[in-house]
Structures are given as C-alpha cells and as structure tokens.
C-alpha cells in the first residue's frame, strides 16, 4: 500500500547535477563559484564554539537582515532569510499558491520550479521563451488569463544567461495580477556597466519578490543560505506564518554576516569570473560553438553542426575524462551544453578536451 498523496506519487523528482565525492574531477556542472569564500568567513567560523550549538539561533536572523538592509539600502521588514534559495521558492509557493490554483513559469527554466509546484498540487502554466531566449510579449496576459497567483522567472536567465532590464521587469510586475518572483541567483555576475538593479522596484510594486542566494556570488553553496526581498506586506506572512521556526542555523547566520561584510573580496571574485567568462566564450566560439552573451557564471554552448559527436555524446566523453558539464534533454536544449565558468586553468583543461573531441587541435 502506498501512503503518498496522489500528486506526490505521480510527480517527477528534481534531478540535481552530479556531485562527485572523490577523484580528480573538474566540476563545471552546477554553477558554483570557482573561488573560495572570503577569509572573513573562515575567521567567523573559527570564533564559533561547540557550546553555542546548545542554543537555538536567532529565530528571524535579525543580525543578518540588518546587514542586508544596509547593503541594499532598504528596511529589515523588506527581508526574510531562508535556508537556501530553494526554501525561498517553496515558501513563496506555500504562501501565495493554494492547492489547485495556478503557478506560472517560462520554459526552459530552473527545473525545481515545477517540482515545487507539483508538491503544492498547483496547476502549472508554462510559456516558452522566444528563439532569442527573450520574454514573450503576451506573458502577463497569458498568466492573468490562467489566473496565476505566482509567476517565477530567472533573471539573468538560466540556462541561457540572458538579462531582462529593470524597466521590463517593472512593466511585467505592473501587468500581472499575481505575485512576480524574480529569481536573481546569478545577479552578482552581471556586468556592472549595465547598472542593473531591481531592488529599487520593491517600493514601487507590492507584488514583486526578489530571490537572492549566497551560493553563487559568495561561494557558499555548501552553507544553504538565501533571502527574499519585497514589500513588507509580501514578506510578513512568510516571515511570521509559513516559514519554519529557526529555519536558518546559527553558523549560517554568522558566516552570512561575515560574507556580506567583505564586499571588496566578493566583488573581486565576480570581476574575475566575468573576465574568465569572456575568455571562455571567445575560445568556445573559436571551436565553432554557438555561444550567446551571458550575464551569469555559466555559458550555454550550442554544439557545431559539423561536430562528429552530439551534445549528449560530448557530455559523456567529457565525463569519462573527469570533466563534468551539464546536459539537458528537450527540444530547446538537446544540442547544447551548459558550462560553468571555472578558473583560467580549469577552462583551459575543458577547452583542450573539447578541441580533441571535435578534432580541432
């Protein structure tokens, strides 16, 4: 006998990227930062004693919220801290999408979205991006017609790396009847010359949530720490009602404060990733791959038409050489590989392997 709810039994689970434990593996498949966290994080960890684990952590992580409020020049009641960005997504669905009601998303996108929507037993409304990975003009209309209570978009987009500017995000928030959650997991890697900033929009739109994470920009993927920004009326029910009590442990809170406090270090790693991203893209283009402009810490590379192997075969051959990249099946992605930007040495190892596989040494 199965005791699962019907919707849980019928759903497909989230498929995470491979996480090898040992061996000389070049890991370019899960968009981790190639550089370590700030030394301030290590110093903060060194001050944390085992005895402190007897106590519950600050329930709403007010110290970290205060640091983030200063960083973003907003109020603490515009912020809720979460156990990774994934908990932030789950909380948004729990708070704003009743079972049976509609959740909206673009395709392709972060593959956890439909999993969380299925857990909530929501109806998923999907709309495809256009051929240039751009937002469909009628997205808001289609979502309103379907009665979507919450729509999630990744910006910069995953897996393409394209960026939607603040004016279009503001117009989308204005046009939607439900809540718009913009997943900004990769926003730290956006070219600063673009002066991209959505935080200023949260005072103008009472239906806009922004998701941020420490996993990418602050090199703390193993910590599981994220947060949501939004109008106080959006944040309050998450903070006081649907969020688990003591949802973020004391060590994570302390280390998050340390990471935020060393912006100079973080910004330098972002600059190094952007520099490596340009160089890696240039090299992939030389090898014949089709690679668009990315504002993230990864590139989406389309395999050359004359390549002797398919994208899936190249993925498998790289894996056999100890190099992990990400391959997604599906009509829009089956001829492409998503490649995390590594260090210069890692990127050289990858591109040398690709040159061998394509016969283009």
Domains of the chain listed by start with CATH number: 6-36+264-358 (3.90.1150.10), 39-262 (3.40.640.10)
Tell whether the model's pLDDT for residue 361 goes beyond 70.
Answer: no
pLDDT more than 90, % of the chain: 92
Alpha-carbon distance of 290 to 200, in angstroms, equals: 35
Per the structure block, which two tokens stand in for 217? 């920009």
DSSP labels, 95-123 = HH--TTSEEEEEES--THHHHHHHHTTPE
Segment 16-43 mean pLDDT: 92
Model confidence pLDDT, tens digit, residues 71-119: 999 999 999 999 999 999 999 999 999 999 999 999 999 999 999 999 9
DSSP state for residue 238 in the 8-state scheme: I
Give the pLDDT of residue 16.
Answer: 85
Alpha helix stretches (DSSP H) within the chain? 6-10, 39-46, 62-72, 84-96, 112-119, 139-146, 166-175, 232-237, 250-261, 263-286, 311-320, 344-358
* Other C-beta atoms lying within 10 Å of the C-beta of residue 31: 22
Segment 183-198 mean pLDDT: 98
The kind and range of the H/E element at 50 are: none
Alpha-carbon distance of 129 to 109, in angstroms, equals: 9
Segment 220-239 mean pLDDT: 98
Segment 140-154 mean pLDDT: 98
Contact residues for 188 (Cβ-Cβ < 8 A; gap 6+): 216, 217, 218, 266, 270
Alpha-carbon distance of 218 to 38, in angstroms, equals: 8
Segment 311-337 mean pLDDT: 94
pLDDT category of residue 5 using cuts at 50, 70 and 90: very high
Model confidence pLDDT, tens digit, residues 52-78: 999 999 999 999 999 999 999 999 999
Question: Backbone phi, then psi, for 325, in 5-degree steps?
Answer: -125, 180
* Other C-beta atoms lying within 10 Å of the C-beta of residue 165: 12
54-63, 72-81, 251-260, 352-361: the lowest-pLDDT one: 352-361
Segment 145-171 mean pLDDT: 98
């Amino acid at each position: 006998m199965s005791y699962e709810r019907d919707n849980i039994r019928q759903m497909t689970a989230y498929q995470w990227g491979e996480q090898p434990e040992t061996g000389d593996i070049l890991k370019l498949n899960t968009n981790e930062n190639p550089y370590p966290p700030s030394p301030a994080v290590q110093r903060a960890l060194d001050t944390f004693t085992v005895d402190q684990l007897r106590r519950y952590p600050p329930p709403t992580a007010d110290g970290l919220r205060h640091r983030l409020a200063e960083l973003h020049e907003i109020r603490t009641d515009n912020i809720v801290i979460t156990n990774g960005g994934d908990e932030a997504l789950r909380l948004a669905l729990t708070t704003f999408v009743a079972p049976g009601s509609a959740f909206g998303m673009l395709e392709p996108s972060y593959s956890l979205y439909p999993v969380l929507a299925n857990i909530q037993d929501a109806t998923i409304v999907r709309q495809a991006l256009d051929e240039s990975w751009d937002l469909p003009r009628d997205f808001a209309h289609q979502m309103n017609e379907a009665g979507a209570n919450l729509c999630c978009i990744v910006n910069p987009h995953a897996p393409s790396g394209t960026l939607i500017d603040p004016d279009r995000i503001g117009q989308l928030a204005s046009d939607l009847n439900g809540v718009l959650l913009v997943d900004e997991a990769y926003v730290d890697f956006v070219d600063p010359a673009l002066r991209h900033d959505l935080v200023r929009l949260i005072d103008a739109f009472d239906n806009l949530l922004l998701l941020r994470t420490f996993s990418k920009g602050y090199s703390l993927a193993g910590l599981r720490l994220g947060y949501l920004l939004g109008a106080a009326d959006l944040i309050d029910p998450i903070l006081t009602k649907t969020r688990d009590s003591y949802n973020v442990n004391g060590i994570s809170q302390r280390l998050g404060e340390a990471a935020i406090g060393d912006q100079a270090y973080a910004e330098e790693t972002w600059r190094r990733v952007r520099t490596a991203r340009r160089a890696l893209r240039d090299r992939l283009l030389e090898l014949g791959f089709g690679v668009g402009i990315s504002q993230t810490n990864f590139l989406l590379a389309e395999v050359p038409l004359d390549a002797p192997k398919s994208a899936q075969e190249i993925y498998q051959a790289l894996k056999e050489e100890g190099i992990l990249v990400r391959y997604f099946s599906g009509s829009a992605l089956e001829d492409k590989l998503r490649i995390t930007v590594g260090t210069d040495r890692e990127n050289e190892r990858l591109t040398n392997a690709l040159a061998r596989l394509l016969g283009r040494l």
